[in-house]
Amino acid sequence: MAGEKTILVVGGGIAGITAALEAAEAGSKVILVEKLPYLGGRVARLHKYFPKLCPPTCGLEINFKRIRNNPDLTVYTLAEVETITGGPGAYTATIKVNPRHVLDHAATSKCVEDCPAEIPNDFNYNMDKCKAVRLPYEMAYPMALVADAQALGKAKANPAFSAFVEACAGKGITIDLEAKPESFQVTVNSVVWATGWKPYDATKLETLGFGKCANVITNVMMERLAASNGPTCGAIVRPSDGKPVNNVAFVQCAGSRDRNHLPYCSSICCLASLKHATYLRDYNPDAQATIFYIDLRAYGRFEFFFDKVKADDRVSLVKGKIVNITEDPTTKDVIVEGEDILTGSRIRSTFDMAVLATGMEPTTRTEQVPAQGVSYDEFGFLVSDNGIHPAGVSRRPMDVGTCMQDATGAALKALQDTVGR
């Protein structure tokens, strides 16, 4: 693409997709690079957006449609940016594309059902397993299968394996475990960095029982539980015994606003938990949601949503951080401990399930931009805004709507780098 006015967007989450599309629709060439085999990032794994409680699939669909319709936009999935050299207006980036290990015609066949190897389903935060040859999810873009070469390699010995490979071939699907990654270089005028975030590792919160108590899950897992394409097909039930949950504790600031974990506020967890309360109440009208918080942060127009949820008499808000979570060994109920600050009494309550509102950790905190002269703040968020432009949660914790605004702005910043060059 040398010579043309091109923008490289790294990260295929909602911020990256938006930045790429907005720039492309404003008339510049765009290369979008995503590490996973599909676009959509974290948003693809959400059940609903607050405050409208509409499904992200709707927004993703229109964006995927825009991508398909736009010849100026090139998408690479399973791809990573290895190095970026040069400066504003003229960068050279090395992109490494990892193989899908399977060739087919738009996820054409269900024969993958017979795949002899299974792997933990990362899309569902490993709450279930999936076939080693799979379509990541119904709406995946690109609509193409992807194979886990490692898992399949292990299964080779299994007689079922060759049968499976044949069956696939018959359905126009070629499994190729030998395929190697390919690297190539592109010259671009500007870079938008939108590698987003990951949920803070809840196992680091020793006293909150994640990984120790069967019925302690995180907020992102709650999204999958509620999602109709999730591990339980939308049934909000207990991991331990699959029983419907009748009272759930939502534990705010699980890691956020804590010098021992994430010192900053993740901005969205309060609203997410309010949203989760609505999931629970919609699924089970008898259910009771209790949200334990330090400060309930619903800002700007989200206060409407806050008021709406607050009005539900089966959603109660308790000011006071949850400090310990233990498990009742017989019932597998979770016992949470905290202080109800306004009444000044210690709480030791039993719930069917506890949801930890884990915070957002910027990906750039651990995986930095492979380029010189990029600066970060003390928390690992991207600061530099010269030639390499942060978009979305790479800049600061923010909700989806704000991500889209920010990404649109980043697109203009990038566009400026292409002007007069």
Q: Which of positions 35-74 make contact with another protein (CB under 8 A)? A: 47, 49, 51-55, 57-59, 61-62, 64-66, 68-71
Which ranges of 327-376 does DSSP label H, i.e. alpha helix?
A: none
Q: Which of 184, 346, 367, 421 binds another protein (CB under 8 A)?
A: 346
**Closest CB to another protein among residues 154, 201:** 201
Taking CA atoms, 194 is separated from 15, 97, 109, 383, in Å, by: 6, 18, 33, 12
CB of 186 to another protein, least distance (A): 19
157 binds another protein (CB under 8 A): no
- CA trace torsion 191, 192, 198, 204 (10° rounding): 60
CB of 153 to another protein, least distance (A): 28
Q: Which of 189, 215, 218, 267 binds another protein (CB under 8 A)?
A: 267
**Closest CB to another protein among residues 251, 371:** 251
184 binds another protein (CB under 8 A): no
Among 25-33, 88-96, 148-156, 186-194, which window interacts with another protein (CB under 8 A)?
25-33
**Closest CB to another protein among residues 74, 94:** 74
**Closest CB to another protein among residues 100, 413:** 413
125: left (phi over 0), alpha (psi -120 to 50) or beta: left
Amino acid type, 28: S
Taking CA atoms, 260 is separated from 43, 206, 213, 264, 393, in Å, by: 28, 11, 22, 11, 21
**Cβ contacts of residue 142 below 8 Å, gap of 6+?**
38, 75, 77
169 binds another protein (CB under 8 A): no
Instruction: Give how many residues touch another protein by CB under 8 A.
Output: 126
Distance, in Å, from the CA atom of 127 to the CA atom of 230, rounded to the nearest integer, reads 9
The Cβ of residue 151 has, within 10 Å, a number of other Cβ atoms equal to: 17
Site mask, another protein, residues 310-329, x = CB under 8 A?
---------xxx-xx-----
Q: Which of 244, 310, 316, 370 binds another protein (CB under 8 A)?
A: 244
182 binds another protein (CB under 8 A): no
CB of 123 to another protein, least distance (A): 14
CB of 87 to another protein, least distance (A): 17
Residue closest to 275 by CA, chosen among 312, 237, 229: 312
C-beta separation of 306 from 297 below 8 A: no
**Closest CB to another protein among residues 83, 232:** 232
Amino acid type, 280: L
Distance, in Å, from the CA atom of 361 to the CA atom of 296, rounded to the nearest integer, reads 20
Taking CB under 8 A as the criterion, which residues in 361-400 touch another protein?
377-379, 381, 383, 396-398, 400
Regarding beta strands 79-87 and 90-97, do their DSSP bridges make them parallel or antiparallel, or are they unpaired?
Answer: antiparallel
Residue 104 token pair: 């087919």
CB of 158 to another protein, least distance (A): 25
167 binds another protein (CB under 8 A): no
224 binds another protein (CB under 8 A): no
Q: Which of 115, 273, 351, 374 binds another protein (CB under 8 A)?
A: 351
